C-alpha cells in the first residue's frame, strides 16, 4: 500500500464533481493538493474548506502552453510525487451533428493537454520515490458508446497513452494508472444525458463514493481499474467479444438517437465525470 500522508498531489479538474471529492479525500489522507482549474472562485472556495496549506490553487488553462507552464512552475516548488489527471470536456450528440471546432476542442482537452502536461511533469515526478501518474478515465475508454463517439475516442486515446507509458517506464520510478469511473451524479451531465440515463436505467454513483474508490486504487497502485458492476463486465466483454456488445447496444440505439437529436449540440468544459455507462 502507498502512503499519501506528506505527499504533494497535482490534481487537474480539482474544483468540480469528482475532482472536488477526490481533493477532499486526498487532504483527509494527509496529502497536500495543488488544485488546478479554470475558475479561481471555485478554487479559492476549496482553499477555505480545508486545513491551512492543504490546498494550493493554480488557475490555468491546460490547453495552452502558458497554462501548463504555470502548473509546472508551481509544482516545481512543492516536490510533487503524484499527478492526477481528472479534468475533461464532454459532448453528447450524434457525430454528424457536432461542429468541427467542438470535436477539435474535445480532443485537445481530453487527450492532447494531458499528454503534454504529463510530458512536462515527468522530470519532477522522476525525482521523487514512489511517484505516479493517475488518469481518471471513463468506461467509455474501453466501451465506445453511441452518442458519445468523440468523447469515447478521446478516452480510448487517454487509456492507450497511460498503458503505453506504463510499459515504456516498466521498472522505472514512476507508475502509470488508468482508473475508470462509471456514471456519476454531477453537473457534468447535461439534462439530455440525465434523461438518457433515466430511460436506460443507468446506475449513477455519488462523487464521494467514486473518490473513495479512486483513492483506494491509488493507494494500492492499481495499474488499471474499472469501477462499477456490470460496467466492469461489459468493458471486458467488449475487449474479447465486441460483437456481443454491438448487438446489445443496437437495441438501445433508438433511445440514444432520440435523446441526442433532442439535445442541441453542447460542449461542456468542466471537471471529468462520465456521462453514462
Q: Is 151 a catalytic residue?
A: yes
Grid cell at residue 272: 471529468
Catalytic residue among 92, 140, 151, 234: 151
The full DSSP string for the chain is: ----TT-EEEEESTTSHHHHHHHHHHHHTT-EEEEEES-HHHHHHHHHHSSTTSEEEEE--TTSHHHHHHHHHHHHTT---EEEE-EEEEEES-GGGS-HHHHHHHHIIIIIHHHHHHHHHHHHHHTSTTEEEEEE--GGGTS--TT-HHHHHHHHHHHHHHHHHHHHTTTSSEEEEEEE--BB-STTS-HHHHHHHHHHT---B-HHHHHHHHHHHHHHT-SEEE-STTHHHHHHHHHH-HHHHHHHHHTTHHHHHHHHHHSPPEEEEEE--B---
In the structure grid, which three cell numbers stand for residue 239, read together?
475487449
CB 86 within 8 A of CB 12: yes
Question: What backbone torsions phi and psi does residue 26 show, to the nearest 5 degrees?
Answer: -65, -40
Which positions are catalytic? 151
Amino acid at each position: 500500500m502507498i502512503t499519501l500522508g506528506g505527499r504533494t498531489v497535482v490534481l487537474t479538474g480539482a474544483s468540480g464533481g469528482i475532482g472536488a471529492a477526490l481533493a477532499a479525500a486526498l487532504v483527509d489522507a494527509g496529502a497536500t493538493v495543488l488544485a488546478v482549474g479554470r475558475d479561481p472562485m471555485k478554487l479559492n472556495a476549496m482553499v477555505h474548506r480545508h486545513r491551512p496549506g492543504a490546498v494550493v490553487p493554480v488557475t490555468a488553462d491546460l490547453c495552452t502552453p502558458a497554462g501548463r507552464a504555470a502548473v509546472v512552475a508551481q509544482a516545481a516548488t512543492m516536490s510533487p510525487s503524484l499527478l492526477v489527471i481528472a479534468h475533461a470536456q464532454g459532448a453528447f450528440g450524434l457525430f454528424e451533428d457536432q461542429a468541427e471546432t467542438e470535436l477539435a476542442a474535445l480532443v485537445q482537452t481530453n487527450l492532447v493537454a494531458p499528454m503534454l502536461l504529463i510530458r512536462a511533469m515527468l522530470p519532477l515526478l522522476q525525482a521523487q520515490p514512489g511517484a505516479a501518474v493517475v488518469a481518471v478515465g471513463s468506461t467509455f475508454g474501453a466501451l465506445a458508446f453511441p452518442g458519445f463517439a468523440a468523447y469515447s475516442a478521446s478516452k480510448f486515446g487517454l487509456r492507450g497513452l497511460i498503458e503505453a507509458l506504463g510499459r515504456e517506464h516498466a521498472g522505472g520510478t514512476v507508475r502509470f494508472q488508468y482508473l475508470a469511473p462509471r456514471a456519476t451524479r454531477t453537473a457534468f451531465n447535461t439534462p439530455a444525458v440525465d434523461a438518457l440515463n433515466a430511460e436506460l436505467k443507468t446506475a449513477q454513483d455519488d462523487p464521494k463514493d467514486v473518490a473513495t474508490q479512486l483513492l483506494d486504487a491509488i493507494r494500492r497502485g492499481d495499474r488499471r481499474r474499472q469501477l462499477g458492476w456490470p460496467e466492469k463486465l461489459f468493458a471486458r466483454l467488449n475487449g474479447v467479444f465486441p460483437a456481443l456488445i454491438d448487438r446489445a447496444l443496437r437495441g438501445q440505439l433508438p433511445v440514444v438517437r432520440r435523446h441526442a437529436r433532442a439535445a442541441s449540440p453542447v460542449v461542456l468544459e468542466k471537471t471529468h465525470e462520465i456521462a453514462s455507462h
